Each structure stands twice: as structure tokens, then as C-alpha cells.
Amino acid sequence: MSVEMSECVPKVCLPAELIAAGPAILPSLLLCDFANLGEEIARVEQAGAAALHLDVMDGHFVPNLSYGLPLVDACKKASRLPLDVHLMIANPEKYIEAYVEAGADMVTIHLEAAADPGPLLQRIRAAGAAAALAINPPTPVSALDPFLSGCDMVLVMSVMPGFGGQAFDPAALEKLRYLRDKTAGQLPLEVDGGIGPDTAERVAEAGAQLLVAGSAIFKQADYASSIQQLKQLATTN
């Protein structure tokens, strides 16, 4: 069964930059230099980033704490790029509208954190952002099936969320292929965790169009060449 993208109201689908032809590289700010946030954002903007990926962690759903609403708000003021907010938090239902109000253009909630994801995806869209569901490596991909028609994007985690710099789990490739085939390539697929020069080509071949990268960008001296290299590797014909 294919997802009916025509049901998608334009304002709540993905930002145009992200569905243009070719792969999109989204720097994960988790690993940036926060003492120079504005400068880091300007650097990745100039380097060809398609959007900023913001990892919100609560110390409950994941064993790490990162940042929350004030940082999303600061990024909105500092950047013209779409903000892709990845909520790794328990009880996401408490915060959806607040993150959209703070500037999120896309809000991703975890399937594992939501008792009933369908209405939450609807609330994200109603608030004016694109709605996405994420799954962790141990979660079977078929658990997403009932919710695909309510998603503007699906995020396949290729590491257990919580920390940057972890090794890519190749089980993500099978999940991406499953989702690409299930949705006839119509639902944008994002992958997050361990994405770099060794994995970009494989995830793109498996169907990922949005590649999140933390260490493969922020641990490198030249952001532009890192992003361009990932983009090139992910460009499949």
C-alpha cells in the first residue's frame, strides 16, 4: 500500500529545500561549538547544509541531556535554514506546540515515546510543522505501518539515540529499503547516527534522502568539503 502524499496539505509538508532533487545533508548541532553558535550556524549555512538538525534530549527517554526550547528559538533567530527538531524525550505530547512556536519547521517524535502517535502527528501538522516519526534500532520497522500516512517524513535511527560519534548500525539499511518500497519512494526518509564518508552512499542507495551528520561535519576542519563529499557520495543515479 502506498502512502497518499496528495493528502498532504502543502504548508505542513517538508520545506521545499528538502524535497528538491538530490540528497540533503543536515548537520546535527549536538557536536558544534556552542560557545560560538552563531558562527557555527553561519559556517554550515555557507557550506551547503540543507537544514539544521537539533537533538533535544531529556535524560529520561535517552541517557543524556542536551538542550531545549531556548536553543531552538536562538537557532531560528540566527538562521534562515529550516529547523529539523528531533525530540528524544518522554511525553512528547506535552511539548509539541511549544517547539513549533519556538521555530521548528519539522518535528520528529519517537514511536517508542508515544502511546498513540497518530494524534500527535496531527497536532504537529496542525501547529504548522512537518510531522515525522523516528524508530530506534531495536524497534521493528513494521511498527511504523499504521502511522505512515500521517507522516511527512520518517527517521530511521542508525545508532541508539543519546550521543554523537557512535558507529553506524547496518540494520538501518534494511529498514530504509522496507520503507522506500512500502511507500513507493513517496515518503521522505531520514537517517541519523554514524553517517559519514563510509556510510553515506549505502544509506542513500537504501532510500535515505535526508542524511543527518554530526561528527562527520563538526569534527572536521572544512565543513564545506565535508558536506559536499557526503552529498556527492549520497547522489545515486
Stretch that binds Zn ion, among 41-49, 52-60, 74-82, 220-228 (CB under 5 A): 52-60
164 binding partner (options Zn ion, ligand DX5, none; Cβ < 5 to 8 Å by kind): ligand DX5
Task: Name the binder of 186 from Zn ion, ligand DX5, none, CB < 5-8 A by kind.
Answer: none
Our CA angle for 170, 30, 58, nearest 5°, is 90
The binder of 165, among ligand DX5, Zn ion, none, by C-beta within 5 to 8 A per type, is ligand DX5
DSSP per residue over 32-81, as a string?
S-GGGHHHHHHHHHHTT-SSEEEEEEBSSSSS-B---HHHHHHHHHH-SS
- Please state the φ and ψ torsions of residue 96, each to the nearest 5 degrees: -55, -55
18 contact, one of ligand DX5, Zn ion, none, CB 5-8 Å limit per kind: none
Strand 189-192 versus strand 24-27 pairing type? unpaired
CB of 1 to ligand DX5, least distance (A): 29
Q: Which residues lie closer than 8 Å to 207 by C-beta, 6 or more apart?
A: 176, 177, 179, 180, 185, 189
Measuring CA to CA, which residue among 224, 232, 195, 223 is closest to residue 32? 223
Task: Give the number of other Cβ atoms within 10 Å of residue 208's Cβ.
Answer: 32
Residue ranges that bind ligand DX5, judged by CB under 6 A: 28, 30-31, 53, 55, 86, 159, 161-166, 192-195, 212-216
Q: Which residues are catalytic?
A: 55, 192
Out of 192, 202, 209, 231, the only residue in the binding site for Zn ion (CB under 5 A) is 192
* Consecutive H or E run containing 171: helix 171-182
With beta carbons less than 8 A apart as the criterion, state whether 52 and 44 touch. Answer: yes
Instruction: State which residue, 85 or 179, has the beta carbon closest to ligand DX5.
Output: 85
Question: Count residues contacting Zn ion (CB under 5 A)?
Answer: 3
With respect to ligand DX5, which residue has the nearer C-beta, 3 or 85?
85
Q: Which does 166 bind (CB under 5 to 8 A by kind): Zn ion, ligand DX5, none?
A: ligand DX5
Query: Among residues 86, 110, 175, 231, which is the contact residue for Zn ion, using CB under 5 A?
Result: 86
Contact 222, 230 (CB under 8 A): no
Binding mask 10-49 for Zn ion (x = CB under 5 A): ----------------------------------------
Among 55, 112, 152, 169, binds Zn ion (CB under 5 A): 55
Give the contacts of 21 (CB within 8 A, at least 6 positions apart). none
* Interaction site with Zn ion (CB under 5 A): 55, 86, 192
